Amino acid sequence: MPGQDSANGHLSTREFSTLLVEERADRVVVLLNRPDVRNAIDQQMVDELHAVCAELEKNPKVLIIAGTEGVFASGADIAQLRERRRDDALQGINSTIFVRIAKLPMPVIAALDGYCLGGGAELAYAADFRIGTPAVRIGNPETGLGILAAAGASWRLKELVGEPVAKEILLAGRVLKAEEALAVNLVTELYEAAELMDAAHRLADRIARQDPLAVRITKSVFHAPAEAHPLIDQLAQGILFESQAKFDRMQAFLDKKNDKKKTDGTKS
């Protein structure tokens, strides 16, 4: 894969049964891996995603999430969901992990292929970036099963695509094809399946070229409530104005600019 060489870390020593995990110096790649049930999200997968988040909260890196065998995630595991009752719902089993993923310090990239439905779609909505393939089918069929999309779609989807499209998905069971998802910016780019992970790594490479602290703080400020601005922006900028990276990167920019002036002057 493109990107930096693999780097051994805490995640590389763990054993996962529902995920394939690769840890690199500046990113972690997680593949949802329950192909026999189209990567349906069960309790074990939720627990393993919590373990990944715990490590990324301590050691922030970009997270790339994708599926295996041409499917992102077909939804929550219906066999488990069928048996859950009120107290299970009140625990917010899926919503808790998706909120945790959304709040990770560094950006999250969801690379989508094939079915991305129900809980799988809500996992994708929690990411900062969504890219996909022409085979993507994304939506929330929960009302057809007698429940609601309670793990983020009921409020996050409106922010992503606007109220009219969100209501079509949530209330009328509309499943978006890839081009439709692209048209409403639910995904931002489409690639052939063989190119999808390369594209995800190129995006991670672009993020890696930024200052990590500036990226982390910008993500936090971006998701702050409206009433927190502009005070939180000023406080965050105050932190970054004191960082060594700010001085080094700005000096490098000025040096490059001066070198270009000298070169242009020589040519003239």
Q: Would you call 83 a catalytic residue per the annotation?
A: no
Residues 155 and 28 in one domain: yes
164: helix, strand or coil:
helix
Q: Looking at 208, 239, 258, which one is the last position of a domain?
A: 208
Residues 173 and 244 in one domain: no
In this structure, is residue 145 part of a structural domain? yes
In this structure, is residue 6 part of a structural domain? no
Strands of 69-177, DSSP E: 108-112, 115-117, 129-132, 137-139, 175-177
Token output for 13:
């020593």
Q: Determine which one of 22, 57, 69, 142 is catalytic.
A: 142
Q: Determine which one of 122, 168, 195, 242 is catalytic.
A: 122
Q: Which domain holds residue 72?
A: 11-208
CA angle 135, 98, 5 (to 5 degrees): 70
Q: Taking the model in full, what pTM does it have? A: 0.91
If DSSP states are collapsed to H, E and C, what string results for 198-263? HHHHHHHHHHHCCCHHHHHHHHHHHCCCHHHCCHHHHHHHHHHHCCHHHHHHHHHHHHHHHHHHHH
Residue by residue, pLDDT tens for the chain (268 residues) are 444 444 556 787 789 999 999 999 999 999 999 999 999 999 999 999 999 999 999 999 999 999 999 999 998 777 777 778 887 777 788 899 999 999 999 999 999 999 999 999 999 999 999 999 999 999 999 999 999 999 999 999 999 999 999 999 999 999 999 999 999 999 999 999 999 999 999 999 999 999 999 999 999 999 999 999 999 999 999 999 999 999 999 999 999 989 888 888 767 5
Q: Would you call 142 a catalytic residue per the annotation?
A: yes
Residues 114 and 195 in one domain: yes
In this structure, is residue 5 part of a structural domain? no
Q: Looking at 192, 208, 224, which one is the last position of a domain?
A: 208
In this structure, is residue 3 part of a structural domain? no
Dihedral angle, C-alpha 75, 77, 83, 86, nearest 10 °: -40
Tell me which residue of 146, 137, 155, 59 sits closest to 98, measured CA to CA. 155
Task: Tell me how far apart the alpha carbons of residues 175 and 139 are, in angstroms, rounded to a whole number.
Answer: 4
